[in-house]
């Protein structure tokens, strides 16, 4: 009993729980580091990571909310995820004191995993707004009570990410929401209302940029009443297959080739550590093409041009008639004369040296022989 109490105080009290495929949120307060709040509330910052690793696993994200003066870890554990330990380093930016806290996360198997998911993009909110449980409940209630009554017993959030993180542009006005993408899922089939809704928004999928204030869907009002401005171009219904789930260990979990899909959280499990690739695995760049295009091709072109030019000149010369050759000769003569004249106009113009007048070669040889 005593040992159990000790174990509880070391692991149990501290540990956080998460369910596979279900969104979890872990708030981080100064109190977790035994810091008491005095003065400025935003003087603390936190750096979370996997224990003894430089970063978080890819399926856990961290965001700091200036509104709530709280950091939030959030994410959706993939299926087959084991328990893990996170490490959070807190920094007091006033005193530069750091404290460290290890946070075990127990990942529980979910008995009924969602098989049907609806994806939404909410334009007017940020991730930290959607982390709020009340807001999540209000959103789920729109589905449970109006659009998807079948899912009433088990609807839950299966995905949450900032739209900017997924490749959307930042809003022009900083005070506008960045946008957030989330999915709600259930094991029960889509209602006919949801399927109709998807048919209604399908024509929008072709648009490259969605009109931000497109609100002509019949159910837009239900969401707006609760404060959610939906981007109907991003609305999708998705069926999750068991194979997709296990594939999601390496790939995105749904086969659709969509901007959002390609950036899905990758569940890489316990061994989610960066390892150095082997030298042999690093691709080598071949310079053959560059060599051919920068040296061989211009050289070939130049040779061709030279050949062509000589041919043209040769044939042209042969085809010259008498009058033109006379003309050219006269031009040549004129040049010769001019050169001769200009030679003697310069300072260095001298008379040609006298012919060599040394002893005759024959004489020299004869003298030598004598």
Ligand X SMILES: *[C@@H]1O[C@H](CO)[C@@H](O)[C@H](O)[C@H]1NC(C)=O
List interacting residues with ligand X (CB under 6 A).
17-19, 22, 24, 33-34, 99, 101, 108
Among 50, 70, 248, residue whose Cα is nearest residue 158: 248
Nearest approach, Cβ of 16 to ligand X (angstroms)? Answer: 8
DSSP state of 152: G
The structure tokens listed for 7 are: 């174990």
- Beta strands 97-108; 16-19: pairing state: parallel
Nearest approach, Cβ of 38 to ligand X (angstroms)? Answer: 17
Nearest approach, Cβ of 163 to ligand X (angstroms)? Answer: 23
Closer residue to ligand X in complex, CB, 109/146:
109
DSSP state of 22: S
Q: Cα separation of 27 and 72, whole Å?
A: 4
Alpha carbon separation from 366 to 46, 356, 357, 358 (Å, rounded): 110, 20, 18, 15
Nearest approach, Cβ of 250 to ligand X (angstroms)? Answer: 25
Query: In the beta sheet, which residues pair with residue 181?
Result: 121, 161
Nearest approach, Cβ of 24 to ligand X (angstroms)? Answer: 5
Q: Cα separation of 248 and 225, whole Å?
A: 35
Closer residue to ligand X in complex, CB, 19/58:
19
The structure tokens listed for 73 are: 């870890």
Nearest approach, Cβ of 88 to ligand X (angstroms)? Answer: 9
Closer residue to ligand X in complex, CB, 26/238:
26
Q: Give the chain's count of helices (H) and strands (E).
A: 10, 11
The structure tokens listed for 293 are: 């295009």
Nearest approach, Cβ of 18 to ligand X (angstroms)? Answer: 5
Closer residue to ligand X in complex, CB, 18/84:
18
Closer residue to ligand X in complex, CB, 113/233:
113
Closer residue to ligand X in complex, CB, 113/264:
113
- Beta strands 70-75; 24-28: pairing state: antiparallel
Nearest approach, Cβ of 23 to ligand X (angstroms)? Answer: 7
Closer residue to ligand X in complex, CB, 22/150:
22
Alpha carbon separation from 318 to 308, 313, 332, 354 (Å, rounded): 16, 9, 18, 42
Residue 175 CB burial class (10 angstroms; 0-12, 13-18, ≥19):
exposed
Closer residue to ligand X in complex, CB, 88/180:
88
Geometric angle at alpha carbon 96, from 93 and 101, rounded to 5°: 90
């Amino acid at each position: 009993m005593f040992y159990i109490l000790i174990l509880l105080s070391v692991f149990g009290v501290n540990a956080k729980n998460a369910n596979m495929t279900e969104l979890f949120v872990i708030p981080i307060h100064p109190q977790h580091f035994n810091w008491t709040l005095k003065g400025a509330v935003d003087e603390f910052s936190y750096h979370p990571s996997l224990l003894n690793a430089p970063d978080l696993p890819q399926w856990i994200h961290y965001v700091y909310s200036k509104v709530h003066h709280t950091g939030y870890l959030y994410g959706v554990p993939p299926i087959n995820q084991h328990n893990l330990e996170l490490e959070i380093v807190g920094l007091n930016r006033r005193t530069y004191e750091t404290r460290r806290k290890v946070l075990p996360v127990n990942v529980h198997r979910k008995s009924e995993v969602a098989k049907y998911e609806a994806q939404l993009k909410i334009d007017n909110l940020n991730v930290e707004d959607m982390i709020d449980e009340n807001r999540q409940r209000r959103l789920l209630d729109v589905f449970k009570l109006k659009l998807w009554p079948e899912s009433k017993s088990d609807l839950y959030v299966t995905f949450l990410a900032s739209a900017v993180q997924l490749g959307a542009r930042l809003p022009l006005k900083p005070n506008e929401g960045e946008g957030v993408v989330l999915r709600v899922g259930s094991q029960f089939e889509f209602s006919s209302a949801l399927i109709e809704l998807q048919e209604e928004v399908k024509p929008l999928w072709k648009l490259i940029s969605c009109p931000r204030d497109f609100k002509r869907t019949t159910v837009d009002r239900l969401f707006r009443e609760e404060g959610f401005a939906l981007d109907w171009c991003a609305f999708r219904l998705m069926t999750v297959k068991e194979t997709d789930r296990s594939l999601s260990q390496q790939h995105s979990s749904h086969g659709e080739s969509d901007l959002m899909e390609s950036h899905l959280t990758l569940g890489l499990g316990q061994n989610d550590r960066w390892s150095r690739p082997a030298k042999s695995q690093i691709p080598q760049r071949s310079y053959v093409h560059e060599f051919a295009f920068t040296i061989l091709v211009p050289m070939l072109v130049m040779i061709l041009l030279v050949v062509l030019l000589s041919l043209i000149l040769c044939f042209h010369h042969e085809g010259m008639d008498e009058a033109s050759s006379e003309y050219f000769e006269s031009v040549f003569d004129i040049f010769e004369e001019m050169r001769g004249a200009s030679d003697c106009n310069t300072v260095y113009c001298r008379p040609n040296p006298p012919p060599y007048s040394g002893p005759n070669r024959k004489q020299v040889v004869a003298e030598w022989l004598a």
